[in-house]
Structures are given as C-alpha cells and as structure tokens.
A = this chain, B = another copy of it.
Amino acid sequence: MLIKNATYYDGQNIKKGDFRHGLSDEEFDASGKFAFHAFHNGHTHLPMTLMRGAGEGEKLHDWLNRTIFPMEKRLTADIVYKGAMFGLLEMIKTGTSSFIDMYYFTDEVARAVERSGIRGLLGTPITDFGTAYYKDAYDALNITEQRLKDRRSGRVDLCIAPHSIYTCSEDVLIRSKELAKRYGVRWTTHISETRKECVDCHKKTGMWPVEYLESAGLLDKNTILFHASWLTKMEIKILADSGASVVHCPASNMKLASGGVMPLPELLSAGVPVMLGTDGVSSNNSLDMMQEMKFGSLLQKSHRWDATVANAYTMMGIATAGSKDLAFVELDDFRMLPHHDLIANLVYSGGTVTDMIVDDRLIMKDRNILTFDEGEVKEEFMEAAAELLG
C-alpha cells in the first residue's frame, strides 16, 4: 500500500511524506495523521474480557476459587468465541495488530482472529488438572497435536502453551517441548511471576525457575516466557545464552501485587528479546498497549529511583517488537499536542487510534472497524458475559 502525506515513525526517526508499506497498489491518505508500527501484545488470555471487573478486590486465592474458576467451568465454545471477538474489537480500537494468546477452545479464538483481520499466535493452556476443554494434560497435548497437523501458515498461527511449572509435571513440560520441536512452533509458558512460585521451585528442585527450564531442555530461541518478574542475574545470563524471549506485563504484576519487577534494563543489556504484554483483561483490566507502555515505563522509573530508565523509545520498541503493521492517530488528537515529542506523547499521554493496516489491508478506517459489525459483536458479548455469570 502507498501511504500518502504521512507523518510517521519508522522505529528510529520521525519522518514526513509518502512511503510504501506492503505490496498492494492501493493508496491510503494519511493527511493529518501520525503513523507508527501497530502494537504486538505479547501476552493475553483474550476471552477473559468476559470477566472484566468480576471479583474485584478479592485476594488472589479467593478471586480464583470464588470467581474465575467457577466461571471457567461454565465456558462453552460459543461463549469463548464471543469473548474473543470482543477482545479483538478492543485490541483493534487501541492499535494492536498481533498478539500471543493462551486460552481454552483455541479453535474458537482462531476463528475469531481470522474474522477480525489481525494476527494471533494461539496456544491451548495445558495443565495437569482437567478443564471445560479437556480431561487432563495428556488430553490437552493430543488436542494440541491434532491442531498442529492442520496448521496452515497465515495470520493465525499456533504455539504450544503449558500453563506453568507449577501446574504441569516435568513429563508434560518435556513432551510439550518435543511437540514444539517436531512441528517447528514456538513454546510458551508463564514463569517467575510470584515469589511463591520461585521459592516452591527452589525447594523442590534446588533450582530457580529459569535454571529449572534450562536443565529440562526447555529453553531455545523458540521459547517465549511470560512475566519473568523475579529473576536472578544468573538466570538473565541463561536466558541470553539460550535465545529465549520474555514478555513484560507491568500492569498485571502491579494489580495482582506480585511484588517482583522485571529487571528490564539488565535483560535488554544482556540482549534478551523483550516484548510487552497486558496479560488477560481479568487482571489488568485492559488490552490497551499505550496504557501498558506508560505503566511499564513508570514502574521501572519508580522501582529503580531512576527517571532515565525505560524511556518512551524503549517502551515503543518492546511494544511493537516484530510488528509488520501500521496504526494511525490524528496529529491534532488532544492527547498528542503539542508536537515536541510524538513518541513521548503516544507513550505517556496516549491517543485514539483511528486507522489500522494489517497484512496490506485496511481493517479500521476513521475509527470504524471494517472487518465486522461492532454493534453485533458488543451485543453478543454482553449475552455471553451474562450467561457466564450463571
């Protein structure tokens, strides 16, 4: 596509003029708009939009047992699809064109992503205990392998997603990694999110979580680790040597009071690829990556007593890592004025995303999503949320 009359950030500098993006011959008039790489949300549980605001103010254990788990027992394919569609609406409206997701009824999430026009890397969470979607971890591995046999390359791709080292046996973790290698797909898991998880791992294995992953042969350049909040220096070195990526989820870590703060500057210095993610809406409660950049930056500055770390450009880099798409905001959006520093405005002040081009195709124009009916998606979502409340 030919983007005309734009002000744009190419990842290094702000430029003005026309530029080519993708292969199609279409033109897009970006007069009065600021273009930037659309956001890549590195960690979501997309259908949990259904649970936004449910069980607020409960302690983690009560929240899971009284609110989330009973709701998840009532999940159906139809509810998940409607929750995913609404999550996609929220992501498109806030400038996200790709994401890494972990949720049940993964086929339904895939169907929703196909329809939305954006990109998703989707995995089924694998746990030793059964869920509404499978009997046990081995059943989950079977379901995952069936899907991998049908895998086609495109906007929707699949990954392997054992939930965590504390909900999967070592046998399940290793088998899941073998599956990832056999099919050449990425392997993802939650790691070192809470201090309890780290201490429990050390008690049981004599190793910290990342050491443990390494000893079990689970780390390589196709590994993506969510949270990584509680890390030792030794673990940062192991990560750097392995080529594995990590995903920072600052708002979720803060809201759940997990205490740990990802050592972002040390990971970046060591050359570990870092992405930014919102986590599920139930613990954030938003999928807005602009807001997440501000939380990430301010959490680092505040935690480290250093106003110079995690600046706007660093945050923009980790929030758009690998992005192939474009998002636009109006240059005279009140959150974007004045124009001393457009990237600082985007990170610290925000802006309303008006347009998005994904895979060489305009999927939102002047605030209107072109790939589905917004009103219908909202209505069906509200019905699904009511059904889930029981």
Nearest-neighbor residue (CB-CB) of A309 within chain B: B257
Question: Does A340 make an interface contact (CB < 8 A)?
Answer: yes
CB under 8 Å from chain B, chain A span 254-304: 254-257, 259, 261, 281, 284-286, 288, 291, 294-295, 297-299, 301-302, 304
Find out whether the CB atom of B340 lies under 8 angstroms from the CB atom of A51: yes
Does A203 sit within 8 A of B, measured CB to CB? no
B52 touches A312 (CB 8 A): no
In chain A, residues 295-342, which have Cβ atoms closer than 8 Å to a Cβ of chain B? 295, 297-299, 301-302, 304-308, 311-312, 332, 334-335, 337-342
Given contacts A312-B57, A378-B332, contact A340 B257 (CB under 8 A): no
* Residues of A85-100 contacting chain B, CB below 8 A: 86, 89-90, 93
Interface centre among A89, A285, A302 (most CB of B within 10 A): A302
Smallest distance from the beta carbon of A234 to chain B beta carbons, Å? Answer: 24
Residue contacts A-B, CB under 8 angstroms, 26 given: A52-B344, A53-B339, A53-B349, A54-B341, A56-B341, A60-B307, A86-B334, A90-B335, A251-B298, A254-B302, A255-B302, A255-B307, A256-B307, A257-B304, A257-B307, A259-B305, A284-B348, A291-B291, A295-B298, A332-B378, A334-B378, A337-B378, A338-B381, A338-B382, A338-B386, A340-B385
Q: Determine if A381 and B341 form an interchain contact, defined as CB atoms under 8 angstroms apart.
A: no
| Residue from the list B253, B284, B302 in contact with A253, Cβ < 8 A | B302
B52→A338 contact, CB < 8 A: yes
Residue from B254, B261, B288, B304 within 8 A of A301 (CB atoms): B254
A132 at the A/B interface (Cβ < 8 Å)? no
In the complex, what's the smallest C-beta–C-beta distance from A279 to chain B, in angstroms? 12
CB-based contact B349/A285 at 8 Å? yes
Are A255 and B349 in contact, CB atoms less than 8 angstroms apart? no
Q: Which residues of B contact A337 (CB under 8 A)?
A: 49, 52, 86, 378, 381-382, 385
Q: In this assembly, does A50 line the interface, its C-beta being within 8 Å of a C-beta of chain B?
A: yes
Give the distance in Å from the alpha carbon of A145 to the alpha carbon of B349 in the complex: 36
Binary contact readout A377-390 vs B (1 if CB under 8 angstroms, 0 otherwise) = 01001100110010
Asked if A204 lies at the interface with its beta carbon under 8 angstroms from chain B, I say: no
B345 adjacent to A311 (CB under 8 Å): no
Query: Which of B286, B339, B348 is close to A285, meaning CB atoms less than 8 Å apart?
Result: B348
Residue contact B286 to A348, C-beta cutoff 8 Å: yes
Q: Which of A334-390 contact B (CB under 8 A)?
A: 334-335, 337-342, 344-345, 348-350, 378, 381-382, 385-386, 389
Do residues B57 and A334 form an inter-chain contact, with CB atoms below 8 A? no
A182 part of interface (Cβ distance < 8 Å): no
| Nearest B residue to A51, CB-CB | B340
Asked whether A50 lies within 8 Å of B378 as measured between CB atoms, the reply is no
Q: Which residues does chain B contribute within 8 Å of A338, judged by CB atoms?
A: 49-50, 52-53, 381-382, 385-386
Q: How far is the CB of A97 from chain B (nearest CB, A)?
A: 17
Residue A149 CB within 8 A of the other chain: no
